[in-house]
Structure 1
Amino acid sequence: MILDLLFPNRCIHCNRIIDSELLVCDICFSQIRFTHYHYSENNPVKEKCNLLFPVENAFSLFQFEKESLTRKIIHELKYKSREKTGKILANWTTERLDFKDEKPDLMVSVPLHPKKLKERGYNQLHLFTETLASFYKIPFNHNLIKRNHYSKAQALKDKKHRAETENPFSVTESISGKNILLIDDVFTTGNTVSSIAWELLNAGDNRVSILVMAVDA
């Protein structure tokens, strides 16, 4: 393609020219800190969640650290209009995540407020979720959870302001008796997934598990 010749795809870390379907080169890929957590066993993400709400299982693809390649990958997805990064991360996840006998009934992702969705042009979790749902043959629902308030990015808030936000999410339809996998990008304080988890738990006899792209180290 002429565009590929004029504007070749480059590694987001070292700027080497790489295949159009890749995000980083092989050398930089080796620098990514994958967690190697087991979904159905105890791990740091599950321990963090259990301090906030009763969680069934939990998994994180990699560690999120300041000034790291992982942080750069997440920012490419969220703020650099590289929606296809979600599919790449989903493919990396399927190579490392085995549900075994704990396969969820439904996948849901953290929603954006309609105003934020319009500003960004896409929800960074949708393609990630859809790719996983297709691979594992699990239904997904992008409309089950509603974000009730428009707010600035979590990364720009201080911890006190995050904790003060009340009822930021609601469940839009009746749901009960489901094993629900809640998907988010980065687990930092856990306030976001905790708020949604409690809404799902209180909606009916549901169980909630967590899948995040990265966990704050």
Structure 2
Amino acid sequence: MLFPIEHAFALMQFEKENVSRKIIHALKYKSRKKAAEILAEWTTERLNFKNEKPDLLVSVPLHPKKLKERGYNQLHLFTETLSEFYEIPFSHDLIKRNHYSKAQALKDRKHRLETQNTFSTTKSISGKHILLIDDVFTTGNTVASIAWEILKAGNNKVSVLVMAMDE
């Protein structure tokens, strides 16, 4: 693997004209919050942590300007639903996005790779197993950047859960 991720889980494939793309775009851009709950419930039917239950759920943050534009972070409701089901605490403020940028979906592959200094931790955390949650895994740079920040913060482990994988 390109980065030290403990485990990685994906719910579905993200392809053009695929139902997964329509669901995630409705969730992200059309305020279809119910889609987050449905995807989280679907996740709980497929994901069993067994003895590897994370200590904390953390979703990829939006920049405050993007949060204001969109009105909500589509991953928060998804994360909160999983938190309740698995009885794992969540943090929406452990990681912050340092720079405003246009949506990854609007960038070409070269510009999607530019994630240096994009994220930082906001508080000290050590000795935890963090489940990092994102909607679409494309290049892996977003989750890798965040994972490195979490790992730099202390003796932590990072696993990743994404709604969909884009090839």
- With structure 2 as the length reference, what TM-score do the two structures score? 0.98
Structure 2 CA distance for aligned equivalents of residues 156 and 198 of structure 1: 25
Computed over aligned residues only, the root mean square deviation of the Cα atoms, in angstroms, reads 0.8
Which residue does 2:166 correspond to in 1? 216
1:148-200 deviation line (CA, Å, top 9, x unaligned): 00000001111222223421000000000000000000000011000000000
Structure 2 CA distance for aligned equivalents of residues 83 and 147 of structure 1: 22
- Tell me the amino acid that sits aligned with residue 91 of structure 1: E
Which residue does 2:90 correspond to in 1? 140
Judged with a 3 Å threshold, the aligned counterparts in structure 2 of structure 1 residues 147 and 80 are, in CA distance, closer, same or farther, namely same
Q: Structure 2: which 5+ runs fail to align?
A: none
Which structure has more relative contact order (CA 8 Å, sep 6+)? It is 2
Is the partner of 2:46 in helix, strand or coil?
Answer: coil
Matched, 1:158 2:108: yes
Greater strand fraction, Structure 1 or Structure 2: 2
Is the partner of 1:60 in helix, strand or coil?
Answer: strand
Which residue does 2:147 correspond to in 1? 197
- Tell me the amino acid that sits aligned with residue 134 of structure 1: E
Give the drift of 1:205: 0.3
Give the drift of 1:87: 0.7
Structure 2 CA distance for aligned equivalents of residues 204 and 165 of structure 1: 21
Q: Structure 1: which 5+ runs fail to align?
A: 1-49
- After superposing on structure 2, the runs of 4+ consecutive aligned residues of structure 1 that deviate more than 3 Å are none
Matched, 1:207 2:157: yes
Structure 1 CA distance for aligned equivalents of residues 91 and 115 of structure 2: 25
Matched, 1:122 2:49: no
1:45-93 deviation line (CA, Å, top 9, x unaligned): xxxxx22x11111111111111111110110100111122111100000
Which residue does 2:60 correspond to in 1? 110
Which residue does 1:85 correspond to in 2? 35
Indicate conservation of the 8 Å contact 1:62/1:213, yes or no. yes
Structure 2 CA distance for aligned equivalents of residues 119 and 83 of structure 1: 16
Is the partner of 2:40 in helix, strand or coil?
Answer: helix
**% identical aligned pairs:** 78
Structure 2 CA distance for aligned equivalents of residues 176 and 213 of structure 1: 27
Indicate conservation of the 8 Å contact 1:83/1:122, yes or no. no
